[in-house]
Amino acid sequence: MKTIGLIFGTRPEAVKFAPIIKALQEDPRFTPVLISTGQHREMLDSTLAEFGITPDLDLRVMRDKQTLSQVTHRILEGISDGDHLAGMDAVMVHGDTASTLAGALAALHQQIPIIHVEAGLRSGNNLSPYPEEVNRKLVGQIAALHLAPTMGNSANLIREGIPENRIVVTGNTIVDALEWGLQNLGSYGDAALEDLDDDPRRVIVATSHRRESLGQPMREIAGALFDIAQDPGVRIVVPLHLNPLVRSIMLPILSGLDNVTIVDPLPYLSFCRLLVRSDIILSDSSGAEEEGPALGKPTLVLRDITERQESILTGSSRLVSRSRPHIVAQVRHLLDDEDAYREMAEAINPYGDGCATQRTVAAVAHFFGRGPAVMPFVPGAEPVRVAA
């Protein structure tokens, strides 16, 4: 039996790790040990509770007004102290957060093999997203097994000199998590949304939180939402990030508009329900870039570049930058042109088929010589949809 430490600290990591954690817990070949850094405290705890997951170790590293260097240092120190990784056969990290980088470094320092889930994503710009692009590139250089969501991610790793036999294309487990979520939907999680199912208007879900969106770019986004809200036939729902820098821009511009509903960040299952109800998703969130295509929801990405180019290529999402007039024009195009809307809604979902967890566990088993090689995920010619 192999002991695998899974290190995570943010809500997106928890969502994408949850199916893997459940599968490893049920597999007699593995003993998973769950290490939470607490990088996103409130949102992480509630998400883990929704999935019924309890960490074996909670480092609780977050402090007010920490710098990136401070939080990364605290995570690395917290994991390394106390021999928390003693006896591990491998350490699994996900994506590109401070928890990912610090967890991988802690494993490297103890010469423990690193398994990198969601490996190989590249925007080509070290400052966008920042610091995520650099974090995942650094982890890519020290990981022993790279679990890439797509063939394009695999190609990125190969170009960087990673041997092909250390890469497995699995699909993204966010699709697996979404399938589970849609089978367990509850309420919308906020009284202001309880009339949503009876509202005949087109629903636009809008979120923005990225570091590179702060300041003038976010003012452009807020201004675009204000302009779109002048159409009485739409209702805009904004789950507003808790970051005061986000709220100080969004609230003065959007508060008081009759067809703009501003709510606090929603529980995961409530957010799934909101996405199902939506007609258009407008977001700079990486999760939304993957969830939108899986649900057949046209997704407009509030960024200039993205590491998730696959959905741009298939047409299920579109880069619209953070320019107020451009955002408004792209939303109006989808609202006014039924053919354009249908083309995006029916495009191929390139991110998964609901079997990424199965491939992930099989790849880990093969890595340890406990199972056969894994057939890679390849999107089919027909859209793969997650249905509620």
pLDDT tens, residue by residue, 256-267: 999 999 999 999
Number of neighbours of residue 43 by Cβ within 10 angstroms: 19
Q: Give the active site residue among 13, 50, 58, 118.
A: 118
Q: All domains of the chain, ordered by start, with CATH? A: 2-172+353-368 (3.40.50.2000), 188-346 (3.40.50.2000)
pLDDT tens, residue by residue, 320-353: 999 999 999 999 999 999 999 999 999 999 999 9
Note the pLDDT of residue 186: 86
pLDDT tens, residue by residue, 33-90: 999 998 877 789 999 999 999 999 999 887 877 888 999 999 999 998 878 999 999 9
Q: Give the active site residue among 13, 50, 58, 96.
A: 96
Q: Is the Cβ–Cβ distance between 317 and 345 less than 8 Å?
A: no
- With residues binned 3-state (H G I as helix, E B as strand, rest as coil), the percentages for the chain, rounded to 5, are 45, 15, 40
In angstroms, rounded to a whole number, what is the distance separating the alpha carbons of residues 171 and 315? 18
Note the pLDDT of residue 357: 99
Alpha helices in 211-280 (DSSP H): 216-228, 244-254, 268-277
Q: Is the peptide bond before 232 cis (omega within 30 degrees of 0)?
A: no
Give the DSSP H or E segment for 204.
Answer: strand 202-207
Note the pLDDT of residue 366: 99
Note the pLDDT of residue 385: 59
Catalytic residue status for 333: no
What is the CB-side half-sphere exposure of residue 76 using CA atoms within 13 A? 16
In angstroms, rounded to a whole number, what is the distance separating the alpha carbons of residues 57 and 46? 16
Note the pLDDT of residue 246: 95
Note the pLDDT of residue 8: 98
- Mean residue pLDDT of the chain comes to 95
Catalytic residue status for 241: yes
Chain-centre distance for alpha carbon 153: 15
Q: Give the active site residue among 116, 146, 235, 241.
A: 241
Note the pLDDT of residue 61: 84
pLDDT tens, residue by residue, 228-238: 999 999 999 99
DSSP assignment string, 58-120? E-----TT--HHHHHHHHHHHHHGGGTTTT-SEEEEETTSHHHHHHHHHHHHTT--EEEES--
In the structure encoding, which two tokens stand for residue 371, read together? 């199972």
**Averaged pLDDT for residues 117-124:** 98
Catalytic residue status for 96: yes
Number of neighbours of residue 82 by Cβ within 10 angstroms: 10
pLDDT tens, residue by residue, 266-325: 999 999 999 999 999 999 999 999 999 999 999 999 999 999 999 999 999 999 999 999
Note the pLDDT of residue 23: 99
The conformational region for residue 171 under phi > 0 = left, psi -120 to 50 = alpha, else beta, is left
Q: Give the active site residue among 50, 58, 132, 179.
A: 132
Catalytic residue status for 176: no
Note the pLDDT of residue 39: 85
Catalytic residue status for 289: no
**Averaged pLDDT for residues 202-216:** 95
In angstroms, rounded to a whole number, what is the distance separating the alpha carbons of residues 105 and 78? 12
**Averaged pLDDT for residues 206-215:** 93
In the structure encoding, which two tokens stand for residue 9, read together? 């600290």
Give the DSSP H or E segment for 302.
Answer: none
Note the pLDDT of residue 285: 94
Residue 384 has pLDDT above 60, yes or no: no
Q: Give the active site residue among 209, 277, 303, 322.
A: 209
Catalytic residue status for 326: no
φ and ψ at 207, to 5 degrees? -135, 145
Closest by CA to 250, choosing from 224, 230, 278, 281, is 224
Q: Give the active site residue among 73, 166, 202, 211.
A: 211
